[in-house]
């Protein structure tokens, strides 16, 4: 029987984790020599490739020297922190991947602390040593220091360090002497990571992640800790409330390469997917129905933010999307909760409104972007932070915010963060950048990224991670400027936009089709203003010197989906269709807005 190694990979966003896994898959000859595989095999969802982040943790396995290595990918972004802790439960060792220039980053620190607490043995890979001005030796010392600060044990501190460049496809013991493949890393994994223990006895498997198939329903994924499972075997699922729900295994799959292989039997130590059992949740234990022995449950991150989702009822409703009714929206949102665990959904005040709870703006934006690509049309309201009453006092979520900025603009970044009740905890130089760490309410983060990127000419690197609920820190000012709103329906003209330049910045280009009540710009003053941008130039057959010059317009300000979500006010919606993202007032009619404002 082949021995099994279960190893998780931890890395910060963009440190080369996905590329490294690609190279390991190639090394294990999983592909035919002439097979087209493309890059970034693990980030197989278009959104993951575009944003350069891993959103869903995935499992891959390779067989090397008669040993099966299960590689468990962990998400690199803080908004998906709920995934991380569960995934680490499946591993016996951990590969910490660090960029040879940037060193260990804040989110890496969070995942690493969880891995060390679980007693996993670390292997450090210092990647991208081919980059100019990289500093592998300094980074190695930095990793040691970080582990020491995280209370690593003596054995964990005696980690093996592997140097290499996953882009160039090599790993070795010395960064000055490149090798020509990644076998050294695989050898280190086999030597250093303990073989998965396989105790005898009744089966125990904790469900750590879910998959969903429209043919077989929900699929439970987890690591078999003890005993063995066979097809058609009766099992019990130990629930949160202590009850045991009986069921029968229909099919068993183990991971092989990038896919799954159907098997009749799974032995302890391996990671498998089970179909046929219903009504389970993450953290439940699959065990023997007669003598149940559940494993301790795993805590899942609480949502910290909610947002109103509703159907699109703008004048452009149904022009671009395939799925536009409240039934479509309801079905799609509830289907998402099957596998997206940090998401909760509550019905709103009317049939077509839903309140969706998530881990942060990025978490919700990824869901919206996915739905939009599938052909849905919807509208969402301003993101709201979730408050809690603790001991009769109002508490709000607080996050750790880390900003790396060039020294000359560090002052601006500190000023913007402290205006939003951010508290500066650490300020230290890191290479040629200033490393700033704040404690800031989640409310303060909404809209902050835009302001900081503008103030630092786009050079700031920002990351944040939920820390705890803390007492309410008082009011935080929102956007200061009002909106410029379209008065009429129809395409806007260059002539009208040119005449209104002094009123503020515009988000639309000449010729864009608009409707009354749509937000088309930012007013230079705090109040909203309604303007007619459809007005054309009066045409006469008289020529006047100078008045026939074409209008010179600055390019419109473009917004990404997250920027729109951070930008809108309480009385505005973001309208999302497969082809466009527009901002609008909830009440499109100007008189209705005035009446609502006077109440």
- Name which of 352, 381, 441 is nearest 570 in CA terms: 381
Q: Which of 147-156, 160-169, 236-245, 298-307 shows the lowest mean pLDDT across its residues?
A: 298-307
Do 169 and 28 belong together in one domain? yes
Domain CATH number, residue 187:
3.40.50.300
* CATH code (residue 349): 3.30.70.870
Is 19 annotated as a binding-site member? yes
* Domain membership flag for residue 270: yes
Model confidence at 42: pLDDT above 50: no
CA distance 332 to 325: 11
Q: Which residues pair with 255 in a beta bridge?
A: 260
Q: For residues 111 and 49, is the Cβ–Cβ distance under 8 A? A: no
Same domain, 561 and 585: yes
Could you tell me if residue 133 is inside a domain? yes
- Residue that is written with structure tokens 């909404």 in the block: 446
> 29 and 137 share a domain?
yes
pLDDT tens-place string over residues 170-194: 787 877 777 777 788 888 888 888 8
What's 236's domain CATH number?
2.40.30.10
Residue 574 reports pLDDT greater than 90: yes
pLDDT at 584: 92
In 264-332, DSSP assigns E strands to 265-267, 271-275, 285-287, 305-310
pTM to 2 decimals?
Answer: 0.71
| Domain termination residue (choose one: 192, 226, 257) | 192
Instruction: Say whether both 169 and 50 belong to one domain.
Output: yes
Task: Give the up-direction half-sphere exposure of residue 431: CA atoms within 13 A in the CB hemisphere.
Answer: 16
Say whether both 353 and 323 belong to one domain: yes
- Region 455-476: mean pLDDT is 80
Task: Looking at the structure, tell me whether residues 22 and 129 fall in a common domain.
Answer: yes
Domain boundary among 192, 216, 243: 192
The number of domains in the chain is 5
Q: How many CB atoms lie within 10 A of CB 451?
A: 17
* pLDDT(372) > 80: yes
Q: What are the Cα distances from residue 178, in Å, to 18, 165, 169, 171, 184? A: 20, 9, 10, 7, 11
Q: Is residue 355 one of the residues assigned to a domain?
A: yes
pLDDT of residue 85: 67
User: Out of 106-115, 121-130, 554-563, 564-573, which region has the weakest mean confidence (pLDDT)?
Assistant: 106-115
Of 12-26, 364-378, 488-502, which range is least confident?
Answer: 12-26
Q: Is 128 annotated as a binding residue?
A: yes
Q: Is 490 helix (H, G, I), strand (E, B) or coil?
A: strand
The angle formed by the CA atoms of residues 366, 273 and 76, to the nearest 5 degrees, is: 35
**Higher local confidence (pLDDT), 351 or 599:** 351
Q: Which uninterrupted H or E stretch holds 455? A: helix 448-455
Which pLDDT does position 583 carry in this prediction? Answer: 92
User: Domain check: are 392 and 364 in the same one?
Assistant: no
**71 and 149 assigned to the same domain:** yes
Range with the poorest average pLDDT among 41-45, 252-256, 319-323: 41-45
What was the pLDDT predicted at 84? 67
Question: Domain boundary at 192, 225, 257, which?
Answer: 192
Strand partners, 165: 170
Question: Is 398 labeled as ligand-binding?
Answer: no
The reply, when asked if residue 15 is annotated as ligand binding, is: yes
**Is 17 known as a binding-site position?**
yes
| 300 assigned to some structural domain | no
Domain extent, residue 355, equals 305-385
- Mean local confidence (pLDDT), 298-322: 83
Q: What is the pLDDT of residue 575?
A: 92
**pLDDT value for 598:** 66
Residue whose C-alpha is closest to residue 195's, from 65, 86, 316, 301 = 65
CA 191 to chain centroid: 33
Q: Does the annotation place 340 within a ligand binding site? A: no
3-state class of 80 per DSSP?
A: helix
Task: With beta carbons less than 8 A apart as the criterion, state whether 581 and 518 touch.
Answer: no
Please tell me whether residues 493 and 451 are part of one structural domain.
no
- What is the DSSP secondary-structure string of 35-63? ----S-SS--SHHHHHHT---S--EEEEE
- Within a domain: residue 403? yes
In a domain, 297, yes or no: no
Does the annotation place 133 within a ligand binding site? no
For residues 316 and 282, state if they share a domain. no
Higher pLDDT, residue 302 or 62: 62
pLDDT score recorded for residue 44: 44
Whether 63 maps to a domain, the answer reads yes
Same domain, 363 and 243: no
Identify whether 323 is part of a domain: yes
Find the CATH number of the domain harbouring 578: 2.40.50.250
Residue 108, annotated ligand binder?
no
The reply, when asked if residue 16 is annotated as ligand binding, is: yes
Residues 181 and 229 both lie in one domain: no
């Amino acid at each position: 029987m082949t021995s099994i190694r279960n190893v998780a990979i931890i890395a910060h966003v963009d440190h080369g984790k996905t590329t490294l896994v690609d190279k390991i898959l190639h090394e294990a000859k999983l592909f035919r020599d002439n097979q087209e595989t493309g890059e970034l095999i693990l980030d197989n969802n278009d959104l993951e490739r575009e944003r350069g982040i891993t959103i869903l943790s995935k499992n891959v396995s390779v067989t090397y020297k008669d040993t099966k290595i299960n590689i468990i990918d962990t998400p690199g972004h803080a908004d998906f922190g709920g995934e991380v802790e569960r995934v680490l439960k499946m591993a016996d060792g951990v590969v910490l991947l660090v960029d040879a220039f940037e060193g260990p980053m804040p989110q890496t620190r969070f995942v690493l602390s969880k891995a060390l607490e679980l007693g996993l043995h670390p292997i450090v890979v210092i990647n991208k040593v081919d980059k100019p001005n990289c500093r592998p030796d300094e980074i190695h010392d930095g990793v040691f220091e970080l582990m020491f600060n995280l209370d690593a044990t003596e054995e964990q501190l005696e980690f093996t360090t592997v140097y290499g460049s996953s882009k160039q496809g090599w790993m070795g013991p010395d960064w000055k002497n490149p090798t020509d493949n990644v076998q050294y890393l695989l050898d280190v994994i086999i030597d250093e990571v303990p073989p998965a223990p396989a105790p005898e006895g009744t089966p125990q498997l904790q469900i750590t992640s879910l998959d969903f198939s429209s043919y077989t329903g929900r699929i439970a994924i987890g690591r078999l800790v003890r005993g063995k499972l066979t097809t058609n075997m009766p099992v019990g699922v130990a629930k949160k409330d202590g009850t045991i729900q009986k069921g029968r295994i229909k099919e068993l799959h183990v991971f092989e390469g990038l896919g799954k292989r159907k098997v009749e039997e799974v032995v302890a130590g391996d990671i498998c997917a089970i179909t046929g059992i219903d009504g389970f949740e993450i953290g439940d234990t699959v065990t023997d129905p007669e003598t149940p022995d559940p494993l301790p449950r795993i805590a899942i991150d609480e949502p910290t933010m909610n947002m109103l989702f509703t159907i699109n009822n703008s004048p452009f409703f149904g022009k671009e999307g395939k799925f536009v009714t409240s039934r479509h929206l309801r079905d799609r949102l509830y289907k998402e909760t099957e596998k997206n665990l940090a998401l909760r959904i509550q019905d709103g005040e009317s049939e077509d409104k839903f309140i969706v709870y998530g881990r942060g703006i990025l978490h919700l934006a990824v869901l919206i972007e996915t739905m939009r690509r599938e052909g849905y049309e919807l509208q969402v309201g301003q993101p709201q932070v979730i408050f809690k009453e603790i001991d009769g006092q109002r508490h709000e979520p607080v996050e750790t915010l880390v900003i790396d900025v060039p020294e000359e603009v560090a002052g601006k970044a500190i000023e913007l963060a402290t205006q939003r009740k951010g508290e500066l905890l650490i300020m230290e130089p890191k290479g040629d950048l200033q490393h700033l760490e704040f404690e800031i309410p989640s409310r303060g983060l909404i809209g902050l990224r835009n302001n900081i990127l503008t103030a630092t000419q786009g050079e700031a690197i920002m990351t944040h991670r939920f820390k705890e609920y803390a007492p309410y820190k008082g009011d935080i000012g929102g956007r200061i400027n009002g909106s410029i709103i379209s008065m009429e329906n129809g395409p806007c003209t260059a002539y009208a936009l040119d005449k209104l330049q002094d009123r503020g910045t515009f988000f639309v280009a000449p010729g864009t089709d608009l409707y009354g009540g749509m937000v088309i710009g930012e007013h230079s003053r705090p109040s909203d203003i309604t303007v007619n941008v459809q007005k054309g130039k009066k045409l006469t057959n008289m020529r006047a010197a100078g008045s026939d010059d074409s209008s010179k317009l600055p390019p419109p300000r473009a917004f990404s989906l997250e920027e729109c979500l951070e930008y809108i006010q309480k009385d505005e919606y973001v309208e999302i269709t497969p082809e466009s993202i527009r901002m609008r007032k909830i009440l499109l009619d100007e008189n209705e807005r005035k009446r609502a404002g006077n109440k």
